[in-house]
Amino acid sequence: MRKIKICGLFRDCDIDYVNEARPDFIGFVFAKSRRQVSVVWAEAMRPRLKSEITPVGVFVNESLEKVAKLLNDNTIEMAQLHGDENENYIRELKTLTNKPIIKAVRVLSEEDIVSGQHTVADFLLLDNGAGGTGESFDWSLVSQVKNQEQNQKPFFLAGGLMADNLEQAILATSPYAVDLSSGVETDGLKDRAKILEIVRRMHNG
């Protein structure tokens, strides 16, 4: 059973939708985005979230102190880094908290995936780098790297995933988890029926 993350929750009802569907992870976007949420809102929503759902905070070049505080306050349980955060940043964050860290990798070539293997982060997130646009990258690059690298870091697959291509994406890449945002939206808002259907398919498949 593959794990699934529903990212970019920003309305109170989105919390109701995921509580009903019970994905493995959800994402609060603290970086500038149309789905950006405030710390105050995330702190208010956190107690409402079912205990078996892991909240992930999405950041771009955020201060170490802010990320560590959100992790140590248990507002989020994992940090997902999408900016220019280097290995020194990730190491320092690890000294400030014992929570897992996901480093996003923009995949344009095999080399991007290979170099990502050397991070001290716990997981990678592979996407096209555009973030929430619903566009995917060339999934065949993942299998090409898998043939070369024996010890691959577990990764979240993101970018352009939706009900129509999810099975194909999983077969092509064998991810630790899939990460959907625009793929479970209608007119830019999270769609309860799409979330319920996609999580059901993932957990029953």
Cα–Cα dist 45/167, whole Å: 31
The predicted model gives 115-137 an average pLDDT of 80
Write down the mean pLDDT value for the chain. 92
Count of structural domains within the chain = 1
Residue 39 has pLDDT above 80, yes or no: yes
The predicted model gives 2-17 an average pLDDT of 97
3-state SS assignment for residue 2 = coil
DSSP 154: P
151 pLDDT tier (thresholds 50, 70, 90): low
Residue 190 has pLDDT above 70, yes or no: yes
Structure confidence by residue, pLDDT tens digits, 82-107: 999 999 999 999 999 999 999 999 99
pTM of the model: 0.94
205 pLDDT tier (thresholds 50, 70, 90): low
Q: For the chain, report the end-to-end CA distance as a whole number of angstroms.
A: 7
Helices within the chain (DSSP H only): 12-21, 39-45, 64-72, 87-96, 110-116, 140-148, 166-173, 192-204
Share of the chain above pLDDT 70, in %: 92
Provide the residue range defining the domain that includes 34.
3-204
Out of 14, 24, 127, 179, pick the active-site residue.
Answer: 127
**Amino acid sitting at position 198:** I
Q: Which domain CATH number covers 41?
A: 3.20.20.70
The predicted model gives 187-192 an average pLDDT of 97
pLDDT of residue 123: 96
Cα–Cα dist 158/169, whole Å: 10
How many CB atoms neighbour CB 113 within 10 A? Answer: 24
In this predicted structure, which of 48-52, 84-88, 93-97, 114-118 has the lowest mean pLDDT? 114-118
Q: Which two tokens stand for residue 180?
A: 């959907």
**Amino acid sitting at position 137:** F
Residue 130 has pLDDT above 70, yes or no: no
Q: Is 13 a catalytic residue?
A: no
146 pLDDT tier (thresholds 50, 70, 90): low
Out of 7, 14, 24, 179, pick the active-site residue.
Answer: 7
